[in-house]
Amino acid sequence: MAFPTETVYGLGAAAERPTALARLFHAKGRPRSHPVIVHGADASLLERYSVGPGRDARALADAFWPGPLTLVVPRSRHVPDEVTGGQDTVGLRVPDHPIALALIAGFGGGVAAPSANRFGRVSPTSAEAVRAELGERVEVVLDGGAPTIGIESTVLDLSGGEPTILRPGAVSSSQLARALERPVGRVARDAGPRAPGRLAVHYSPDASVELVSADGLATRAAELTSAGGRVAVLSPEPVSVDRAVLVIDGLGHGTGYARELYAALRQSDHLAVDVVLAVPPTGTDIAEAIVDRLRRATGGA
């Protein structure tokens, strides 16, 4: 069953039932070695699925759950190997969405849920996008409209020494550092434990994606269109670009850009766009997470 969250749509399975998890991995076409996040209705998730959740995990759960933060903590015996890809840690999150929370509470246990897309593809931010991704592979899609955040949760590893961001998201490193009263690190891309959100080529549309500066946009667009290319443009500021198939501009440098990003990439594919020219947002906090997703969509680091 697929369901909406405040970040992206998830594809859920009973977290403690290996047969349900096997079906989940099959539907996504995802390698079994990649861990999935266990979602709960409240912070009691920490007690059931981790061992001795430390002060940091409790403080962050207090500050940010329900919300777009996944905590990677040492796993308890209630977490099957299928969830963690054999690792001794588990990712836990309480989503901030009434449908997700009602579903999880009604089910009465942890719900393992990756984003409801085929492996390596752009996460869905609408029920239609889930259907387009998974078709008959998913029986039920709960429609909650567009997520308020639009990109996946921040993943924070609390299992080692220094708390470390594995995947940036709407909860920023400065917010985390403030709540923890100490600095948080950030892994270099593709270092450390296996995690699909950190493969360089991930979150990819069919179109190629290029990052361009606001100043270089018009020239690059003209180059591509005069060679017959179909071009889409994403920009924080309003722009005027001749002969682009799709222009999504005035997105701003923060939440608005995040909310529109994946729908824009999908729409580009729908319009058979060859190249998406994306002017990245500037700034820290959620802009960093948006730039991270744009870089992955380019296929480079």
Residue 236 binds ligand TXA, judged by CB under 6 A: no
Judged by DSSP in three states, 67 sits in: coil
Which residue of 5, 84, 87, 115 would you call a contact of Mg ion, by CB under 5 A? Answer: 115
Kindly state the smallest distance separating residue 149's Cβ from ligand TXA, in Å.
8
Structural contact between residues 119 and 30, judged by C-beta atoms closer than 8 angstroms: yes
Kindly state the smallest distance separating residue 276's Cβ from ligand TXA, in Å.
21
Question: Which of ligand TXA, Mg ion, none does 10 bind, CB closer than 5 to 8 A by kind?
Answer: ligand TXA
Residue 115 binds ligand TXA, judged by CB under 6 A: yes
Q: Supply φ then ψ for residue 75, to 5 degrees.
A: -85, 155
Of 40-48, 59-67, 132-140, 150-158, the window that binds ligand TXA (rule: CB under 6 A) is: 150-158
Query: Among 48, 58, 47, which residue's Cα sits nearest to residue 15?
Result: 48
Give the residue ranges of DSSP H helices in the chain: 18-28, 44-49, 55-64, 81-84, 98-107, 127-134, 173-180, 217-226, 255-270, 286-298
| Distance linking the first and last C-alpha atoms of the chain | 33
Residue 84 binds ligand TXA, judged by CB under 6 A: yes
Which residue of 13, 16, 35, 278 would you call a contact of ligand TXA, by CB under 6 A? Answer: 35
Kindly state the smallest distance separating residue 30's Cβ from ligand TXA, in Å.
8
Which residue of 40, 66, 196, 281 would you call a contact of ligand TXA, by CB under 6 A? Answer: 196
* Residue in the structure block whose two tokens are 């924080």: 236
Residues forming contacts to ligand TXA in the complex (CB under 6 A) are: 5, 7-8, 10, 35-37, 70, 72, 84, 87, 89-91, 93, 95, 113-115, 152-153, 155, 166-167, 193, 195-198
